[in-house]
């Protein structure tokens, strides 16, 4: 690492806490950042938005020392730095909280906070746990975090885990905090709590940069918003002087329809019936308890809930990745509780998994081979003995073109694509198989606003064609706008089935947190949900 005091701007309001000057980052065949000038004032909240593949995460990885820029300079508080890795960036006061938390579930809050920087006793031969607890409690109190330092990570909420990640960075002396999609797995109440934390941190003189796809949250929480498109900085605007529509235009280069128009659709016969289903997780611990619902032709049946409340295990049981401990699952009149995954695909069940890299892609395969996953034995792609690669390539090329997968290269391996472009390919592959049932779990996770608009339109097209759709999403605006009926899960149970047009976001947030809003009993919620259908 090297640091040169070439142009110390000084601290204080109006000073640049971060200045990335002319940053270019090239990968083989790709220019991820193209001569980007990016400055963040000290003591402000700065949002970074842009389409998938626009270069947002790459730019922040340069700032955090994960990538070395091909060209350009990094200045922190006016001092030029060349980072050899994240430890150098942390030494310079940069902390990063990733979208997928990096906590040890079996350790306590305090143990996670001090991990790698533990206070010691007995001449450095042992960790001083009492001091670790004391320092964590003091730091949490200073920033107004309601955390028990002795609580185990796997026993606290997602929102509390995020605060632990922030405390980890603060414990290491971070003055600039980078947060990647920090609201992706939070309830509305937890989002408001996070923004309160932002205010506390800014009051302490910290600087915050957060990457987000949620333009409303950027406008609410940020002082300034920077937009990247195709690796270039389109512009930086004060949050008070712009709108969601203008930001969307800057991101995509065209007008984007932000308010979804859902036409009426005729609900047909039940396609998927789930009766009394309970599921245990991989450890044998009950994850889903006695769940009942049905999804009909021409209907979007939504499931809302904070991640980790049984949605994943329920979906895996429906799609054939996990066997329920009790209960039955019926698909298009056939009982499929113990049927294989391939049998369900052959019957017309499409599946967009929440973990695209674990469940939907083989990362070392090219898109042509990934396009075949799960359907390599279907007659349109195989004669039973050999794969028809011409038909496969034509199909994959159509998906790439229709769903705007970038770069449009069927021969490229999956790991060479950004997360958003991986997601667009998976969605296209599954939607274009002419399914009778689509199980879509977090279908727009990590996808930019233009692609979200397109995916929503395709879901509604499928609905209009009579396809049954089971939609799981942690985005309340998405699941409310798309769903005809909406189930809310908490602690493995469906606590309510409601008409999404008849409940507020605040009421849904309370249900997701396991609380019952005034005026909504379990039975009335279920009745309202049935009547709305």
Report whether the peptide linkage leading into residue 33 is cis, meaning its omega lies within 30 degrees of zero. no
Q: Which residues pair with 303 in a beta bridge?
A: 472, 487
**In 10 A of CB 126, how many CB atoms?**
10
Closest CA to 452 of 298, 305, 251, 187: 251
Closest CA to 179 of 171, 187, 170: 170
Determine contact, residues 17/76, Cβ cutoff 8 Å: yes
Helix (H/G/I), strand (E/B), else coil: 283 = coil
Q: Is 94 exposed, middle or buried (0-12, 13-18, 19+ CB in 10 A)?
A: buried
Spatial distance between the Cα atoms of 294 and 246, rounded to a whole number of angstroms: 40
Determine contact, residues 359/429, Cβ cutoff 8 Å: no
Spatial distance between the Cα atoms of 523 and 55, rounded to a whole number of angstroms: 48
Spatial distance between the Cα atoms of 80 and 440, rounded to a whole number of angstroms: 46
pLDDT recorded at residue 315: 96
pLDDT recorded at residue 343: 93
Paired sense of beta strands 437-441 and 349-352, if any = parallel
φ, ψ (nearest 5 deg) of residue 90 = -65, -40
pLDDT recorded at residue 257: 66
pLDDT tens digits in sequence order for the chain, 533 residues long: 666 654 444 444 457 899 999 999 998 878 999 999 999 999 999 999 988 778 898 999 999 999 999 999 999 999 999 999 999 999 999 999 987 788 999 999 999 999 988 887 887 777 889 999 999 999 999 888 889 999 999 888 878 898 999 999 999 999 999 998 888 767 777 788 889 999 999 999 999 999 988 888 999 999 999 999 989 999 999 999 999 999 999 998 887 766 777 888 889 999 999 999 999 988 888 999 999 999 999 999 999 988 789 999 999 999 999 999 999 999 999 999 999 999 999 999 999 998 888 889 999 999 999 999 888 888 888 877 899 999 999 999 999 999 989 889 999 999 888 777 888 899 999 999 899 999 999 898 767 787 888 899 999 999 999 999 999 987 888 899 999 999 999 999 999 999 998 888 888 888 988 887 766 655 545 544 444 44
Determine contact, residues 427/457, Cβ cutoff 8 Å: no
Task: Please give the helix or strand (H or E) that residue 451 lies within, else none.
Answer: helix 449-464
Going along the chain from its start, the domains and CATH numbers come out as 2-252 (3.40.50.300), 260-348+436-533 (3.40.50.300), 358-433 (no CATH)
How many helices (H) does the chain have, and how many strands (E)? 17, 23
What is the 3 state secondary structure string of 212-225?
CCCHHHHHHHCCEE
DSSP 77-125: TTEEEE-SSHHHHHHTTEEEE-SS----TTSBHHHHHHTTS--EETTTT
What is the 3 state secondary structure string of 388-405?
CHHHHHHHHHHHHHHCCC
φ, ψ (nearest 5 deg) of residue 100 = -100, 110
Determine contact, residues 24/70, Cβ cutoff 8 Å: yes
φ, ψ (nearest 5 deg) of residue 48 = -120, 115
Axis crossing angle, helix 188-203 with helix 158-171, rounded to the nearest 10? 20
Spatial distance between the Cα atoms of 126 and 380, rounded to a whole number of angstroms: 64
Helix (H/G/I), strand (E/B), else coil: 245 = helix
pLDDT recorded at residue 2: 63
Q: Is 28 exposed, middle or buried (0-12, 13-18, 19+ CB in 10 A)?
A: exposed
Distance of alpha carbon 318 from the chain centroid: 22
The gap between the terminal CA atoms of the chain, to the nearest Å, is: 62
């Amino acid at each position: 690492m090297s640091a040169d005091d070439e142009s110390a701007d000084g601290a204080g309001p109006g000073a640049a806490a971060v200045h990335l000057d002319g940053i270019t980052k090239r990968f083989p065949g790709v220019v991820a950042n193209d001569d980007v000038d990016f400055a963040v004032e000290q003591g402000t909240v700065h949002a970074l938005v842009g389409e998938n593949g626009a270069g947002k995460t790459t730019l922040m990885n340069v700032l955090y020392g994960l990538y070395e820029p091909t060209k350009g300079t990094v200045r922190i508080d006016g001092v030029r730095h060349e980072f050899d890795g994240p430890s150098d960036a942390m030494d310079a006061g940069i902390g990063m909280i990733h979208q997928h938390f990096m906590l040890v579930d079996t350790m306590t809050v305090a143990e996670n906070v001090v991990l790698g920087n533990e206070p010691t006793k007995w001449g450095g031969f042992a960790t001083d746990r009492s001091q670790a607890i004391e320092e964590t409690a003091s730091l949490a109190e200073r920033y107004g975090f309601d955390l028990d330092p002795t609580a185990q990570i796997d026993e606290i909420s997602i929102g509390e885990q995020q605060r632990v990640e922030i405390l980890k960075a603060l414990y290491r002396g971070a003055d600039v905090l980078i947060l990647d999609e920090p609201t992706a797995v939070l309830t509305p109440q937890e989002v408001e709590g996070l923004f309160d934390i932002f205010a506390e941190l800014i009051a302490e003189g910290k600087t915050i940069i957060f990457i987000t796809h949620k333009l409303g949250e950027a406008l609410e929480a940020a002082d300034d918003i920077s937009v990247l498109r195709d690796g270039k900085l389109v512009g930086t605007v004060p949050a008070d002087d712009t709108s969601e529509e203008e930001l969307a235009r800057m991101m995509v280069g065209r007008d984007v329809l932000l308010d979804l128009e859902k036409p009426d659709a005729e609900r047909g016969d039940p396609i998927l019936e789930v009766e009394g289903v309970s599921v245990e997780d991989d450890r044998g611990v009950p994850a889903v308890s006695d769940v009942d619902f049905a999804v009909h032709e021409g209907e979007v049946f939504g499931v809302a809930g904070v991640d980790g409340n049984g949605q994943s295990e329920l979906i895996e049981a429906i799609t054939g990745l996990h066997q329920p401990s009790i209960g039955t699952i019926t698909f298009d009149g056939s009982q499929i509780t113990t049927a294989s995954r391939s049998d369900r695909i052959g019957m017309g069940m499409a599946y967009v998994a929440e973990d695209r890299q674990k469940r939907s892609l083989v990362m070392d395969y090219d898109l042509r081979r990934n396009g075949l996953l799960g359907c390599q034995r279907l007659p349109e792609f195989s004669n039973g003995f050999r794969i028809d690669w011409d038909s496969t390539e034509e199909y994959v090329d159509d998906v790439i073109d229709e769903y705007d997968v970038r770069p449009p290269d069927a021969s490229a391996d999956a790991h060479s694509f950004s997360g958003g472009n991986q997601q667009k390919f998976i969605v296209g592959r599954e939607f274009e198989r002419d399914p009778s049932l689509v199980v879509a779990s977090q279908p727009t996770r990590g996808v930019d606003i233009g692609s979200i608009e397109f995916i929503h339109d395709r879901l509604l097209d499928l609905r209009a064609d009579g396809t049954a759709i089971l939609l799981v999403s942690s985005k309340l605006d998405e699941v409310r706008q798309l769903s005809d009926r909406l189930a809310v899960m908490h602690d493995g149970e469906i606590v309510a089935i409601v008409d999404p047009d008849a409940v507020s976001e605040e009421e849904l947030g309370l249900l997701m947190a396991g609380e019952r809003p005034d005026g909504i009993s379990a039975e009335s919620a279920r009745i309202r949900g049935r009547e709305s259908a």
